[in-house]
Structure 1
Amino acid sequence: MLKGIYYDPVNVTLVNKSNTTTYIGNYVIPNFYQGFRKTAKKDDSVDVDKEVAKRAVLDNGTALFRVDLATAVRFRGIFGTTKRHRIMAGADVEVNDRGTRVDQKNVKLSQATRVCGLVVRWEFC
């Protein structure tokens, strides 16, 4: 029976989608524990290189950025904790010339990883 999840530091990286070698920003969420059937919300912002972001804006006034997330998790159960399972996921985010998302729906990172019969999903607002 699952009692909770231990998260290693979560590394969030932003790059220009048209040129994935163009680094825009990075943020590390410190490690944390998420109890069984509990929600863990981490609200913060990322400092980005505004000049790189401005250069990425296309003629139509939008830019496409890639958000990637990487971490490792350990599951806590009644018999102890499991070994670390690496998780990497990402999504494309379209941003207008004012720096706000074009689509106001939550960003859902794809490549959800199935670990121990559970699907780990990430969602950013």
Structure 2
Amino acid sequence: MMLIPVVAILVADPRAPDFPEQVPGLMEACLADAVATNSVTETDDSHKYICGGDAAARLWAFLERAKIKSYEQDTPDEGRWLGRDFPLGACFKQIRRADGTAGGKGLSCTIWVPRPAVGTADKS
């Protein structure tokens, strides 16, 4: 009977949902990490959540597997970074330090949650 082994394989290794169905769960883990590490700030128009560690690594790996096109950014103080965007955010991986040496373990993801700009809140 071949049916039992096939069913066992399907149950033991369920196929991960396709893009973008995994994004909400990955973003939730990133938001939780940012809150836990007190990495939440405000910009003029958003709340900025920055996660690192396992949450960022899983989100980066997912974006890579989904073949999200990357781009490079140079920052004078922090070197060269590879970035990948997703809805409401982006992940950044250091590929070269400012001194020209190979990138370190720098990996973070940022989620921007929009907020009303100061003075523009609905007063009704």
More strand by share: 1
TM-score range, shorter chain: under 0.3
TM-score by length of 2: 0.25
Q: Which has the larger radius of gyration?
A: 2
Give the TM-score normalised by structure 1.
0.24
